[in-house]
Amino acid sequence: MSKENTVAHFDQAKHVIVVGAGIGGLTVALGLAKQGFHVRIFEQTSALSEVGAGLQLSPNAMKVLREFGIKDRLESHAFTPQKACIRDYHSGRYYLEAPLGKHIEQRYGAPYWHIHRADLHKELVQACYSAGVEIELDHKVLGYREDHKNATVLLENSTEHADIVIGADGIHSKMRELMLGVQAPIFTGQVAWRGTVPAAAIKGTMMEPNATVWAGPNKHLVTYYLRGGEWVNFIAVEERAEWRSESWREAGDVEELRSKFVGWHPEVTSVLEACDETFLWALNGRPTLPKWHDERLVLLGDACHPMLPFMAQGAAMAIEDAFVLVTTLTKYPFKDAFEKYESVRKPRATAVQRQSRDNAALYHMHGGWEGRLKLKALGVASKYFSRIIESKLDNIYGHDVTTLAL
């Protein structure tokens, strides 16, 4: 993206406020700053840190990070998985094996990396500072208003003005609430346990260098390496009838977690035995929003399209959003840019949301033997009709927002 070719419309939107210093907010702030916008981020927490564990950066996300100059900064933190696998929870048999590593980089023109969320967050923060982004902490949003001159964000400690505001403040977005009204999240009937363990602490088994989904009745567990293989990340998802906690995330009971996976394959139980801390999330969703923007406010990432983790595309979708929004804002007056951004991103995000929901039923063997047969059929297709499987991945990993004619 050439800065010299994109400055014509800066008189329409020079000053930008981003609400939220998560991955999506930092990425869009970095991209805009690189194009000459004056960007300020307001974050309600008192410290710049990212709670969570690992995430998967697929080629569609990596192309954006490369374009924004972040890829090389991340390489020392990354782990390159060799395969994507679905395995049986008890026997360990492979239902599906799809090559990653060099194969996927050659096919899609960018790598597939595992990275600790905190490492990505740290590098984005440093890149933002280097690009001139101002990051203000401990600033909780109380209100928002707009007129023909500017947008105004009311904070606990101050009142701030800008040409436009980007709401990148997550599934519990205050900016979405201010724009569209209060709406409770929809509990999906699933919760996720997350954590990391040192690879050296795992006893009695050797973890393979793959991104592995362990599929079982009404639950599944994902394992993969982080930080060059020094750590193993896990995400364990189970179905529940309700979620009564007031918090969207809470400390989990490790013994309870282990009890949920008794009798599973040794690679699973060994990881959980080595775990001494876990966090528990409710997996919430939201109906498709009627709109993603107002006159001077636009939403991004989980604030407008929260993703279930069953395609590992939550961070990737926010990163894609960021690139498209930066590109449209550098090419068009902001009102046209918002319209273009939503028209491009909404169908894409909605389709990935749907694929993620569909995978939940597959991973959890819904339908008993019928569910197992679907997994076996998937395995046969992957072995003898690999192009069918790759064509499904092409829609996700082959999507390249950096080459769209926007």
Q: Categorise residue 334: left if φ over 0, alpha if ψ from -120 to 50, beta otherwise.
A: alpha
Catalytic residue among 89, 224, 332, 397: 224
Question: Apex CA 106: angle with CA 125 and CA 104, to 5°?
Answer: 70
> Each residue of 269-308: b (16+ CB within 10 Å) or e?
bbbbbbbeebebbbbbbbeebeebbbebbbbbbbbbbbbb
d(CA 296, CA 145): 9
C-beta atoms surrounding 397 within 10 Å: 24
Contacts 24+ apart (CB under 8 A), 91-94: 91/265, 92/265, 92/267, 94/379
d(CA 178, CA 82): 44
- CA 340 to chain centroid: 22
d(CA 286, CA 171): 8
Tokens of 24: 């999506």
Distances (CA, A) of 349 to 66, 240, 297: 21, 26, 19
Query: In sequence order, what DSSP letters do the residues of 255-274 get, joined into one string?
Result: HHHHHHTTTS-HHHHHHHHT
d(CA 93, CA 136): 50
Tokens of 102: 């060099």
Task: Give the type of residue at 171.
Answer: I
C-beta atoms surrounding 266 within 10 Å: 12
Q: In which residue are the tokens 């293989």 written?
A: 229
Active site residue 224: yes
C-beta atoms surrounding 367 within 10 Å: 11
Instruction: Give the catalytic positions in this structure.
Output: 224
